[in-house]
Amino acid sequence: TDRKKLHTAPVGQVFRLRPLHVLIATGGGYAGYRKYEDYKVEQLEKRGIEVPVKLASEWEVALYKSVPTRLLSRAWGRLNQVELPTWLRKPVYSLYIWTFGVNMKEAAVEDLHHYRNLSEFFRRKLKPQARPVCCLHSVISPSDGKILNFGQVKNCEVEQVKGVTYSLESFLGPRIYTEELHFSQAPPGNSFQQQLVTKEGNELYHCVIYLAPGDYHCFHSPTDWRVSHRRHFPGSLMSVNPGVARWIKELFCHNERVVLTGDWKHGFFSLTAVGATNVGSIRIYFDRDLHTNSPRYSKGSYNDFSFISNNNKEGIPMRKGEHLGEFNLGSTIVLIFEAPKDFKFHLKAGQKIHFGEALGSL
Protein backbone atom coordinates (compact mmCIF):
# COMPACT_ATOMS: atom_id res chain seq x y z
CA THR A 1 0.00 0.00 0.00
CA ASP A 2 3.01 2.30 0.43
CA ARG A 3 4.05 1.92 -3.24
CA LYS A 4 3.39 4.73 -5.70
CA LYS A 5 0.87 4.06 -8.41
CA LEU A 6 2.27 3.71 -11.93
CA HIS A 7 0.07 5.42 -14.45
CA THR A 8 0.23 3.85 -17.91
CA ALA A 9 -1.23 4.78 -21.26
CA PRO A 10 -2.25 2.46 -24.08
CA VAL A 11 0.72 1.25 -26.09
CA GLY A 12 -0.72 2.73 -29.26
CA GLN A 13 -0.52 6.22 -27.76
CA VAL A 14 3.00 5.87 -26.33
CA PHE A 15 4.73 4.23 -29.26
CA ARG A 16 3.50 5.21 -32.69
CA LEU A 17 5.44 4.10 -35.76
CA ARG A 18 5.05 6.30 -38.76
CA PRO A 19 5.93 5.14 -42.29
CA LEU A 20 8.66 7.79 -42.65
CA HIS A 21 10.32 6.69 -39.41
CA VAL A 22 10.26 3.06 -40.53
CA LEU A 23 11.78 3.95 -43.91
CA ILE A 24 14.55 6.06 -42.36
CA ALA A 25 15.40 3.49 -39.69
CA THR A 26 15.29 0.52 -42.07
CA GLY A 27 17.06 2.28 -44.92
CA GLY A 28 19.69 3.78 -42.64
CA GLY A 29 20.38 0.43 -41.00
CA TYR A 30 20.71 -1.24 -44.36
CA ALA A 31 23.06 1.51 -45.60
CA GLY A 32 25.23 0.85 -42.53
CA TYR A 33 25.25 -2.85 -43.32
CA ARG A 34 26.35 -2.09 -46.89
CA LYS A 35 29.20 0.07 -45.55
CA TYR A 36 30.41 -2.89 -43.52
CA GLU A 37 30.20 -5.15 -46.58
CA ASP A 38 32.21 -2.58 -48.59
CA TYR A 39 34.87 -2.58 -45.90
CA LYS A 40 35.20 -6.37 -46.11
CA VAL A 41 35.54 -6.18 -49.90
CA GLU A 42 38.29 -3.55 -49.60
CA GLN A 43 40.21 -5.77 -47.19
CA LEU A 44 39.98 -8.73 -49.58
CA GLU A 45 41.18 -6.60 -52.50
CA LYS A 46 44.17 -5.40 -50.49
CA ARG A 47 45.12 -9.05 -50.00
CA GLY A 48 44.91 -9.64 -53.75
CA ILE A 49 41.74 -11.75 -53.59
CA GLU A 50 39.33 -11.11 -56.51
CA VAL A 51 35.79 -10.46 -55.31
CA PRO A 52 32.95 -11.71 -57.55
CA VAL A 53 30.40 -9.11 -58.69
CA LYS A 54 27.12 -9.28 -56.78
CA LEU A 55 24.53 -6.79 -58.03
CA ALA A 56 21.76 -5.36 -55.89
CA SER A 57 18.21 -6.49 -56.56
CA GLU A 58 15.44 -4.01 -57.36
CA TRP A 59 14.11 -4.05 -53.79
CA GLU A 60 17.59 -3.38 -52.38
CA VAL A 61 17.99 -0.35 -54.65
CA ALA A 62 14.49 0.87 -53.71
CA LEU A 63 15.33 0.44 -50.02
CA TYR A 64 18.55 2.41 -50.41
CA LYS A 65 16.67 5.15 -52.27
CA SER A 66 14.21 5.38 -49.35
CA VAL A 67 16.98 6.93 -47.25
CA PRO A 68 16.46 10.72 -47.53
CA THR A 69 19.98 11.35 -48.86
CA ARG A 70 18.97 14.58 -50.64
CA LEU A 71 17.57 16.04 -47.42
CA LEU A 72 20.58 14.88 -45.44
CA SER A 73 22.92 16.33 -48.06
CA ARG A 74 21.20 19.72 -47.92
CA ALA A 75 21.43 19.64 -44.12
CA TRP A 76 25.11 18.75 -44.38
CA GLY A 77 25.61 21.62 -46.82
CA ARG A 78 24.05 24.08 -44.36
CA LEU A 79 26.11 22.68 -41.50
CA ASN A 80 29.23 23.25 -43.58
CA GLN A 81 28.36 26.96 -43.80
CA VAL A 82 28.24 27.43 -40.03
CA GLU A 83 31.22 29.47 -38.86
CA LEU A 84 33.28 27.62 -36.27
CA PRO A 85 34.78 29.36 -33.24
CA THR A 86 38.51 29.92 -33.73
CA TRP A 87 39.41 27.58 -30.86
CA LEU A 88 37.34 24.75 -32.38
CA ARG A 89 38.69 24.91 -35.94
CA LYS A 90 41.98 23.11 -35.43
CA PRO A 91 40.50 20.12 -33.50
CA VAL A 92 37.66 19.64 -36.06
CA TYR A 93 39.85 19.96 -39.15
CA SER A 94 42.63 17.85 -37.60
CA LEU A 95 40.15 15.02 -37.02
CA TYR A 96 39.05 15.22 -40.66
CA ILE A 97 42.67 15.32 -41.86
CA TRP A 98 43.54 12.25 -39.78
CA THR A 99 40.41 10.34 -40.85
CA PHE A 100 40.78 10.88 -44.61
CA GLY A 101 44.54 11.34 -44.98
CA VAL A 102 44.51 14.94 -46.21
CA ASN A 103 47.90 16.38 -47.17
CA MET A 104 47.78 19.95 -45.88
CA LYS A 105 51.33 20.66 -47.03
CA GLU A 106 49.86 21.03 -50.54
CA ALA A 107 47.28 23.62 -49.43
CA ALA A 108 47.83 27.25 -50.38
CA VAL A 109 46.98 28.12 -46.76
CA GLU A 110 48.20 25.54 -44.23
CA ASP A 111 46.99 27.40 -41.14
CA LEU A 112 43.78 25.62 -40.08
CA HIS A 113 42.53 28.69 -38.22
CA HIS A 114 42.19 30.47 -41.58
CA TYR A 115 39.18 28.35 -42.65
CA ARG A 116 36.04 29.78 -41.09
CA ASN A 117 33.83 26.77 -41.80
CA LEU A 118 33.94 23.26 -43.20
CA SER A 119 32.88 24.45 -46.64
CA GLU A 120 35.94 26.68 -46.95
CA PHE A 121 38.15 23.84 -45.76
CA PHE A 122 36.69 21.38 -48.32
CA ARG A 123 37.20 23.91 -51.13
CA ARG A 124 40.74 24.83 -50.10
CA LYS A 125 43.07 25.87 -52.92
CA LEU A 126 46.42 24.25 -53.61
CA LYS A 127 49.83 25.79 -54.02
CA PRO A 128 50.53 26.53 -57.71
CA GLN A 129 53.48 24.12 -57.83
CA ALA A 130 51.53 21.29 -56.12
CA ARG A 131 49.84 20.17 -59.35
CA PRO A 132 51.97 20.80 -62.46
CA VAL A 133 49.95 20.33 -65.66
CA CYS A 134 51.45 17.81 -68.10
CA CYS A 135 52.15 19.49 -71.44
CA LEU A 136 53.24 16.35 -73.32
CA HIS A 137 49.88 14.55 -73.36
CA SER A 138 46.60 15.63 -74.92
CA VAL A 139 44.30 14.58 -72.04
CA ILE A 140 45.12 15.09 -68.36
CA SER A 141 43.29 14.13 -65.19
CA PRO A 142 40.72 16.83 -64.35
CA SER A 143 40.95 16.06 -60.61
CA ASP A 144 42.60 14.11 -57.85
CA GLY A 145 41.10 10.69 -57.29
CA LYS A 146 41.13 6.97 -57.98
CA ILE A 147 40.80 5.48 -61.47
CA LEU A 148 37.78 3.15 -61.39
CA ASN A 149 37.70 2.27 -65.08
CA PHE A 150 38.78 3.39 -68.55
CA GLY A 151 38.89 2.17 -72.14
CA GLN A 152 36.78 2.05 -75.29
CA VAL A 153 33.00 2.32 -75.14
CA LYS A 154 31.52 -0.89 -76.57
CA ASN A 155 27.94 -1.77 -77.49
CA CYS A 156 26.61 1.52 -76.07
CA GLU A 157 27.61 0.35 -72.57
CA VAL A 158 30.12 2.00 -70.23
CA GLU A 159 31.79 0.31 -67.26
CA GLN A 160 31.50 2.18 -63.94
CA VAL A 161 33.71 -0.49 -62.34
CA LYS A 162 34.98 -3.79 -63.69
CA GLY A 163 32.05 -6.00 -64.66
CA VAL A 164 29.31 -3.45 -63.85
CA THR A 165 28.00 -1.29 -66.70
CA TYR A 166 25.48 1.42 -67.47
CA SER A 167 23.77 2.62 -70.63
CA LEU A 168 25.57 5.41 -72.50
CA GLU A 169 22.27 6.96 -73.64
CA SER A 170 20.71 6.80 -70.16
CA PHE A 171 23.77 8.50 -68.73
CA LEU A 172 24.13 11.33 -71.26
CA GLY A 173 20.45 11.58 -72.15
CA PRO A 174 18.93 11.88 -75.64
CA ARG A 175 21.13 13.22 -78.38
CA ILE A 176 21.12 17.00 -78.74
CA TYR A 177 20.07 17.93 -82.26
CA THR A 178 21.83 21.26 -82.59
CA GLU A 179 23.84 22.35 -85.58
CA GLU A 180 26.38 24.22 -83.47
CA LEU A 181 27.43 21.08 -81.58
CA HIS A 182 28.91 19.53 -84.71
CA PHE A 183 27.61 16.08 -83.79
CA SER A 184 27.66 13.37 -86.40
CA GLN A 185 24.94 13.59 -89.04
CA ALA A 186 24.64 9.81 -88.95
CA PRO A 187 21.35 8.21 -90.03
CA PRO A 188 18.80 7.87 -87.19
CA GLY A 189 19.01 4.08 -87.44
CA ASN A 190 22.58 4.09 -86.16
CA SER A 191 23.24 3.36 -82.49
CA PHE A 192 23.54 6.20 -79.99
CA GLN A 193 27.27 5.54 -79.75
CA GLN A 194 27.74 5.79 -83.52
CA GLN A 195 25.79 9.06 -83.63
CA LEU A 196 28.23 10.68 -81.18
CA VAL A 197 31.30 9.86 -83.30
CA THR A 198 31.82 12.69 -85.79
CA LYS A 199 34.82 11.44 -87.77
CA GLU A 200 35.28 8.23 -89.65
CA GLY A 201 37.84 5.91 -88.06
CA ASN A 202 37.44 7.39 -84.59
CA GLU A 203 36.35 5.53 -81.46
CA LEU A 204 34.54 6.55 -78.29
CA TYR A 205 36.53 6.34 -75.02
CA HIS A 206 35.66 6.75 -71.35
CA CYS A 207 37.41 7.27 -68.01
CA VAL A 208 35.90 7.23 -64.49
CA ILE A 209 37.63 9.02 -61.59
CA TYR A 210 36.37 8.71 -58.01
CA LEU A 211 37.11 11.60 -55.62
CA ALA A 212 37.34 10.47 -51.99
CA PRO A 213 36.41 12.88 -49.15
CA GLY A 214 40.09 13.57 -48.48
CA ASP A 215 40.89 14.52 -52.09
CA TYR A 216 41.22 18.00 -53.55
CA HIS A 217 37.58 18.85 -54.41
CA CYS A 218 38.01 21.17 -57.40
CA PHE A 219 38.08 19.88 -60.96
CA HIS A 220 39.67 21.36 -64.05
CA SER A 221 39.53 21.16 -67.81
CA PRO A 222 41.12 17.89 -68.98
CA THR A 223 42.06 19.25 -72.43
CA ASP A 224 41.64 22.20 -74.80
CA TRP A 225 37.98 22.13 -75.82
CA ARG A 226 34.84 24.23 -76.02
CA VAL A 227 31.72 23.60 -73.95
CA SER A 228 28.55 24.03 -76.00
CA HIS A 229 25.85 22.56 -73.81
CA ARG A 230 24.93 21.71 -70.21
CA ARG A 231 22.40 19.06 -69.20
CA HIS A 232 21.41 18.77 -65.53
CA PHE A 233 19.81 15.55 -64.26
CA PRO A 234 18.25 15.91 -60.80
CA GLY A 235 18.22 12.54 -59.06
CA SER A 236 19.24 10.48 -56.08
CA LEU A 237 22.38 11.16 -54.06
CA MET A 238 23.55 7.65 -53.28
CA SER A 239 27.15 6.99 -52.34
CA VAL A 240 29.46 6.53 -55.33
CA ASN A 241 32.37 4.87 -53.52
CA PRO A 242 33.80 1.86 -55.41
CA GLY A 243 31.97 -0.64 -53.19
CA VAL A 244 28.54 0.82 -54.01
CA ALA A 245 29.49 1.27 -57.69
CA ARG A 246 30.27 -2.45 -57.75
CA TRP A 247 26.91 -3.25 -56.14
CA ILE A 248 24.35 -1.03 -57.95
CA LYS A 249 24.08 -1.31 -61.72
CA GLU A 250 23.67 2.06 -63.47
CA LEU A 251 24.43 3.88 -60.22
CA PHE A 252 25.62 6.96 -62.11
CA CYS A 253 22.33 7.05 -64.04
CA HIS A 254 20.34 7.09 -60.78
CA ASN A 255 22.33 9.95 -59.23
CA GLU A 256 22.13 13.67 -59.84
CA ARG A 257 24.70 14.79 -62.40
CA VAL A 258 25.77 17.67 -64.61
CA VAL A 259 26.78 16.75 -68.17
CA LEU A 260 28.93 19.24 -70.08
CA THR A 261 29.22 18.43 -73.80
CA GLY A 262 31.13 20.05 -76.61
CA ASP A 263 34.01 19.25 -78.90
CA TRP A 264 37.80 19.16 -79.08
CA LYS A 265 40.20 18.79 -81.98
CA HIS A 266 39.23 15.15 -82.49
CA GLY A 267 35.43 15.53 -82.22
CA PHE A 268 32.92 14.93 -79.44
CA PHE A 269 34.00 15.56 -75.83
CA SER A 270 32.06 15.47 -72.57
CA LEU A 271 32.75 15.81 -68.86
CA THR A 272 30.14 14.75 -66.30
CA ALA A 273 30.20 15.63 -62.61
CA VAL A 274 28.20 13.02 -60.67
CA GLY A 275 26.66 13.94 -57.32
CA ALA A 276 26.79 11.74 -54.22
CA THR A 277 25.71 11.58 -50.57
CA ASN A 278 26.65 14.75 -48.66
CA VAL A 279 27.60 16.55 -51.87
CA GLY A 280 25.42 19.58 -51.18
CA SER A 281 26.18 21.12 -54.54
CA ILE A 282 27.97 20.73 -57.86
CA ARG A 283 29.29 24.08 -58.99
CA ILE A 284 30.39 25.00 -62.53
CA TYR A 285 32.23 28.32 -62.38
CA PHE A 286 30.98 29.77 -65.68
CA ASP A 287 27.37 28.57 -65.20
CA ARG A 288 25.57 30.82 -62.71
CA ASP A 289 22.14 29.43 -63.66
CA LEU A 290 22.98 25.93 -62.41
CA HIS A 291 21.36 24.97 -59.08
CA THR A 292 21.79 21.38 -57.88
CA ASN A 293 20.16 19.37 -55.07
CA SER A 294 16.92 21.38 -55.12
CA PRO A 295 14.20 20.25 -52.69
CA ARG A 296 11.79 19.24 -55.45
CA TYR A 297 12.27 17.69 -58.86
CA SER A 298 10.41 15.44 -61.28
CA LYS A 299 11.70 11.88 -61.44
CA GLY A 300 13.45 11.17 -64.72
CA SER A 301 13.52 14.83 -65.70
CA TYR A 302 16.44 16.91 -66.92
CA ASN A 303 16.99 20.48 -68.06
CA ASP A 304 19.17 21.74 -70.89
CA PHE A 305 21.08 24.95 -71.34
CA SER A 306 23.01 25.97 -74.45
CA PHE A 307 26.07 28.18 -74.27
CA ILE A 308 25.72 28.85 -78.02
CA SER A 309 23.80 32.04 -78.80
CA ASN A 310 23.56 34.75 -81.42
CA ASN A 311 26.16 36.72 -79.50
CA ASN A 312 28.38 33.73 -78.75
CA LYS A 313 28.93 31.28 -81.59
CA GLU A 314 31.89 29.56 -79.93
CA GLY A 315 30.43 28.46 -76.60
CA ILE A 316 32.76 28.41 -73.59
CA PRO A 317 36.41 27.83 -74.57
CA MET A 318 38.38 25.91 -71.95
CA ARG A 319 42.15 25.55 -71.78
CA LYS A 320 43.81 22.42 -70.43
CA GLY A 321 44.17 22.75 -66.66
CA GLU A 322 41.83 25.73 -66.34
CA HIS A 323 39.51 25.80 -63.30
CA LEU A 324 36.14 24.31 -64.24
CA GLY A 325 34.14 23.57 -61.08
CA GLU A 326 34.01 22.01 -57.63
CA PHE A 327 32.19 19.52 -55.42
CA ASN A 328 31.14 20.17 -51.86
CA LEU A 329 32.70 16.93 -50.60
CA GLY A 330 33.79 14.08 -52.88
CA SER A 331 32.20 12.42 -55.89
CA THR A 332 32.94 11.18 -59.41
CA ILE A 333 34.07 12.63 -62.75
CA VAL A 334 33.24 10.72 -65.96
CA LEU A 335 34.92 11.61 -69.25
CA ILE A 336 33.43 10.34 -72.52
CA PHE A 337 35.14 11.52 -75.66
CA GLU A 338 35.94 10.74 -79.27
CA ALA A 339 39.51 10.11 -80.45
CA PRO A 340 41.41 8.27 -83.19
CA LYS A 341 41.94 4.52 -82.82
CA ASP A 342 45.58 4.95 -81.82
CA PHE A 343 44.65 6.86 -78.64
CA LYS A 344 46.29 5.17 -75.64
CA PHE A 345 45.57 5.50 -71.92
CA HIS A 346 48.53 5.67 -69.53
CA LEU A 347 46.61 4.26 -66.58
CA LYS A 348 45.98 1.25 -64.39
CA ALA A 349 42.59 0.48 -62.85
CA GLY A 350 42.60 1.34 -59.15
CA GLN A 351 45.57 3.67 -59.28
CA LYS A 352 45.62 7.04 -57.48
CA ILE A 353 45.99 10.03 -59.75
CA HIS A 354 46.39 13.76 -59.27
CA PHE A 355 45.02 16.67 -61.25
CA GLY A 356 47.40 17.55 -64.08
CA GLU A 357 48.84 14.04 -64.57
CA ALA A 358 48.48 12.34 -67.94
CA LEU A 359 45.42 10.23 -68.75
CA GLY A 360 46.34 9.41 -72.32
CA SER A 361 47.55 10.65 -75.68
CA LEU A 362 47.93 9.80 -79.35
Q: 124 and 214 in contact (C-beta within 8 Å)? A: no
Active-site annotation holds for 144 = yes
What single-letter DSSP state applies at residue 236?
B
Taking the C-alpha atoms of residue 71 and residue 75, their distance in angstroms, rounded to an integer, is 6
- The Cβ of residue 342 has, within 10 Å, a number of other Cβ atoms equal to 9
Residue from 119, 143, 144, 232 carrying the catalytic annotation: 144
Active-site annotation holds for 287 = no
CA atoms within a 13 Å half-sphere pointing along the CA-CB vector of 30: 18
Residue from 66, 119, 215, 220 carrying the catalytic annotation: 220
Q: 273 and 299 in contact (C-beta within 8 Å)? A: no
Q: Which amino acid is at 196?
A: L
Q: Quote the crossing angle between the two packed helices 19-46 and 58-66, to the nearest 10°.
A: 120
Q: Mark out the alpha helices in 108-203 (DSSP H runs).
A: 118-122, 168-172, 192-196
CA atoms within a 13 Å half-sphere pointing along the CA-CB vector of 352: 4
Ramachandran quadrant class, 357 (left: phi over 0; alpha: psi -120 to 50; beta: rest): beta
11: part of which helix (H) or strand (E)?
A: helix 11-14
**CA nearest neighbour of 111 among 90, 140, 138, 80:** 90
Active-site annotation holds for 111 = no
Taking the C-alpha atoms of residue 175 and residue 268, their distance in angstroms, rounded to an integer, is 12
Partners of 139 in the β-ladder: 360
Active site residues: 144, 220, 331
